Amino acid sequence: MNPFNAFIWPAWRSALGSLLLATAMQPALAEDPYPSRPITWVVPFAAGGPTDAIARNVAQRVSTVLGNTIVIENVPGAGGTVGAAKVARARPDGYTLFVGHTGTMAAAPYLFKTLKYDPAKDFVPVFRFPDTPMVLLVKNGSRFKTATELLDEARKNPGKLTFGTAGVGSSSHLAAEHLASTAKVKFTFIPYKGTGPAMSDLMGGQIDAMLDQTNVSLPQTQGGRLTALALTSRARMDMFPNVPNLTERELPGFLAFTWYGIYAPTGTPQNVVDTLSKAYTKALADAEFTGALRKQGIDVLPAERVGPEALKAFTASEAVKWEKVIKDAGIPPQ
């Protein structure tokens, strides 16, 4: 062997060895167990609102079960549809997921002329969160002491009362539109980028009322900054003492709540969907977790109603419901 060959042979052999080793490792890397790095959940509203609060709550438990970090990314705008469009275009590898809800996953196609995603085609349902009933809120010291007084005023002066919403197509907007059309009154809606800024203006007296989820409203009513006039649930709630339901007197049969779920971009492998949904079912078995949610007025659903198939059927039925509500209420697409 000439000295040159003697020099390059070991180097060539070691390079070949590394190449073969790397090739041999390829399938192992591709099949890394899921999850093996942080997962991002996109919340399509500002931080501090009800969607953000419940998502952080659920994410914390699911990440404990998975033994893996879940990062919340707030991508607000256009009633949550900006965040939805972003996730619809994300890599379907299970590391970017969407916190969808009543508005973004059911009502949006009937509210927006151009929507940059299709809830049914661009996403696969993963699991459904607990539901959150809503509260009719006014600022503390408001001249309206009951829901009847507020609705009577809206009847006498159509369009005079201003209702804050978390944006067109947000669940606070949808519930308020549903309330207006059921009560046959007209409000002027003022859209914000999320519940947080709408609530600040409600406290400051810039708007007259809003409907919002119990989880974020509760500390404000307990702290005396806002007054709850009525709930939109069937049963009364201990944490809102002496607050009646709209269905008891003003609007028999009127119920409203916000539902949420985790959705993955279409193409996400089934094993990823199964892993996440099983982790959530495990979290639901933790009484400390579910007890803390119930204390915020949140309605924890049983395991058989929260899996991917149940969420798929439920999302489809909600799309049918909201198409009708939006058409009946005559809400023009934006």
Distance of CA 111 to the CA centre of its chain: 17
| Two structure tokens written together for 167 | 């944006």
Among 168-176, 217-225, 259-267, 315-323, the segment contacting ligand MLT (CB under 6 A): 168-176
Q: What type of residue sits at position 204? A: G
- Give the residue, chosen from 63, 81, 172, 217, that forms a contact with ligand MLT under the rule CB under 6 A: 172
CA 7 – CA 179 distance, rounded (Å): 84
- If binding is defined by CB under 6 A, does position 136 make contact with ligand MLT? no
In the bound complex, what is the minimum distance in angstroms from residue 67's beta carbon to ligand MLT? Answer: 28
Among 170-178, 217-225, 275-283, 310-318, the segment contacting ligand MLT (CB under 6 A): 170-178
**How many residues bind ligand MLT, per CB under 6 A?**
15
End-to-end Cα distance, the chain: 80
In the bound complex, what is the minimum distance in angstroms from residue 42's beta carbon to ligand MLT? Answer: 13
Those residues with Cβ within 8 angstroms of residue 198's Cβ, 6 or more apart along the chain or in another chain: 164, 165, 166, 172, 190, 192, 207, 210, 212
Between residues 46 and 179, which has the closer beta carbon with respect to ligand MLT?
A: 46
CB atoms within 10 A of CB 42: 23
- Give the residue, chosen from 35, 39, 41, 45, that forms a contact with ligand MLT under the rule CB under 6 A: 45
- Cα four-point dihedral sign 142, 145, 151, 153: negative
In the bound complex, what is the minimum distance in angstroms from residue 139's beta carbon to ligand MLT? Answer: 18
- Give the residue, chosen from 63, 74, 170, 315, that forms a contact with ligand MLT under the rule CB under 6 A: 170
From residue 105, alpha-carbon distances to 126, 129, 153, 277 in Å are 13, 14, 33, 18
- If binding is defined by CB under 6 A, does position 217 make contact with ligand MLT? no
Between residues 246 and 279, which has the closer beta carbon with respect to ligand MLT?
A: 246
Give the SS3 label for residue 145.
Answer: coil
- If binding is defined by CB under 6 A, does position 57 make contact with ligand MLT? no
Among 3-11, 43-51, 220-228, 232-240, the segment contacting ligand MLT (CB under 6 A): 43-51
Q: What type of residue sits at position 146? A: T
- If binding is defined by CB under 6 A, does position 213 make contact with ligand MLT? yes
In the bound complex, what is the minimum distance in angstroms from residue 166's beta carbon to ligand MLT? Answer: 3
From residue 199, alpha-carbon distances to 54, 134, 194, 195 in Å are 17, 14, 9, 6
Q: Under rule CB under 6 A, which residues in 295-334 are in contact with ligand MLT?
A: none
Beta strands 96-101 and 260-265, pairing class: antiparallel
Q: Under rule CB under 6 A, which residues in 181-200 are in contact with ligand MLT?
A: 194-195
Q: Under rule CB under 6 A, which residues in 74-133 are in contact with ligand MLT?
A: 101, 103
Which spans of this chain sit near ligand MLT (rule: CB under 6 A)? 45-46, 49-52, 101, 103, 166, 170-172, 194-195, 213
